[in-house]
Amino acid sequence: MDNTDIQQKNDKVFIAIGVVGVVIVVVFYLFSFSQNPYKKTDDVVIPIVIKHSTPTSTAYNNMFLSARAAVVWDVQNRRFIYEKNGDEVLPLASLTKLMTALAATELLPEHSMIRIAREYLAGLNDSQLKADDNWNTSDLIAHTLITSSNAGANVIASVAGEFVQNNKKIDPRDSFVGYMNKRAQDLGLGSVSFFNDSGLDLNAERSGAYGDAKDMAVLMDFIMQNHPEILEPTTHSKLQVTSEKGGTQIIKNTNTSVERVPGVLASKTGYTDLAGGNLILAFSPGLEGPYIAVVIGSTYEGRFSDMQQLVDATIRMLGDK
């Protein structure tokens, strides 16, 4: 056997070892994710996104949804078990405030207080927010999510935007919206774009935010895994909050159906002229779940009946197992 034959033989051995090594790494990688459906980076849980849908049971047949788009995301098994136009990019309306709340929580110091400057309320109506009042950050975020307050979102963005590293000539609120878009990119939410902090329509033709139902489910999933404290207040039909000037106030949830859902974990409504009625809900019926259902482009009342159909169908699916 000459040197060429020996070299070829050695090359084949090295290639074989390399192939075996790659297979071992891939198997380990898949096994790791099968045991834990999230990957961790610096203690931040990032959902692994599966954009395609898995065929479902017949439980979702014969539904009559008003919504233009809807999905049900199985958090534990990392799959969409129901989809109607889940990839269609549509106006988000106040579903935007989920990212507003997440961004503010990441930027603002824990247990900080927010002073409501008069200019933050200009042109926006919220009877429970008063100029020069001081709010605990968590209470203001809860108020903004539960009552879907555009003024609350403006206040949060104006204050939290000061903590974004940027050109000081840029308005803090614009900096905050820039941070919201960066976080959407970080999380792989490719369909999502924010133009303001509230989702309020910019004009008769342009929404304040756009995204698809699948990405909104993934965003809710991320918040549930990393900052569940943001979402817990949204599970109540009413909640008590306190501010320095306003004292103790009772705020009402814009999701009027929240108490009818078994094992509700989070909810957020949205409605504008361009968006129609939107709703996102996380729930865990019995020992199963959690599941995240998203309704986009329904009507003001239809979003609640659409969501109830999705919840009921998911429960039927579990009963069929």
Contact 133/244 with Cβ under 8 angstroms? yes
Taking 50 as the threshold, does the pLDDT of residue 20 lie above it?
no
Q: Does residue 283 share a domain with residue 165?
A: yes
- Band of residue 125 on the pLDDT scale cut at 50, 70, 90: confident
Is the pLDDT assigned to residue 65 strictly greater than 60? yes
Q: What percent of the chain has pLDDT over 90?
A: 73
Is residue 147 situated within a structural domain?
yes
- Structural domain harbouring 204: 46-320
Q: Is residue 278 part of a domain?
A: yes
134 and 173 housed in the same domain: yes
Verify that 22 and 138 share a domain, yes or no: no
Whether 165 shows a pLDDT value over 90: the answer reads no
Q: Strand, helix or coil at 115?
A: strand
The pLDDT confidence band at residue 54, using thresholds 50, 70 and 90, is: low
Burial of 87 by CB count in 10 Å (0-12 exposed, 13-18 middle, 19+ buried)? middle
Between the CA of residue 198 and those of 28, 131, 155, 170, 273, what are the distances in Å?
43, 19, 10, 19, 14
Q: How many domains does the chain have?
A: 2
Cα–Cα dist 307/299, whole Å = 12
> How is residue 63 written in tokens?
């539904």
Q: Are residues 125 and 259 in the same domain?
A: yes
Q: What is the mean pLDDT of residues 36-45?
A: 47
Average pLDDT over residues 113-120: 94
Judgement on whether residues 256 and 134 belong to the same structural domain of the protein: yes
Q: Which of the four pLDDT bands, split at 50, 70 and 90, describes residue 52?
A: low
Number of alpha carbons in the 13 Å side-chain half-sphere of residue 289: 22
CB 159 within 8 A of CB 129: no
How far is Cα 291 from Cα 50, in angstroms, rounded to an integer?
A: 15
pLDDT value at residue 167:
65
Q: Are residues 142 and 27 located together in one domain of the fold?
A: no
Residue 241 has pLDDT above 80, yes or no: yes
Q: Distance (Å, rounded) from C-alpha 195 to C-alpha 221?
A: 22
Tokens 């959690």 correspond to what residue?
290
In the sheet where 247-252 sits, what is the strand order? 113-115, 134-136, 238-243, 247-252
Same domain, yes or no, for 9 and 149? no
Residues of the chain above pLDDT 70, percent: 81
* Calpha distance 88→169 (Å, rounded): 36
Looking at residue 17, its pLDDT comes to 45
Averaged confidence pLDDT in the chain: 86
> CATH number for the domain including 116?
3.40.710.10
Say if residue 115's pLDDT is above 90.
Answer: yes
List the Cα angle 156/211/182 in 5-degree steps: 55
The string of pLDDT tens digits covering residues 291-310 is 999 999 999 999 999 999 99
Question: Is there a domain that residue 108 lies in?
Answer: yes
- Which two tokens mark 264? 């509700």
Assess whether 23 and 122 both reside in one domain.
Answer: no
- Contact predicate 149/130, CB 8 Å: no
Can you tell me the mean pLDDT for 115-142? Answer: 93
CA 23 distance to own-chain centroid: 35
Between 288 and 28, name the one with better pLDDT.
288
What letter does residue 97 receive in the DSSP assignment?
H
Q: Is the pLDDT of residue 265 over 60?
A: yes
Q: What is the pLDDT of residue 24?
A: 39
- Residues 259, 123 within the same domain: yes
Statement to judge: residues 115 and 160 lie in one domain: yes
40 falls within a domain: no
94 and 138 within one domain: yes
* 297 in any annotated domain: yes
Q: What is the mean pLDDT of residues 227-234?
A: 97
* Domain co-membership, 107 together with 15: no
Task: Tell me what pLDDT residue 51 has.
Answer: 54
Q: Alpha helix (H) ranges present in 125-212?
A: 137-146, 150-160, 172-186
Beta bridge partners of 291: 74, 283
What pLDDT sits at residue 286? 79
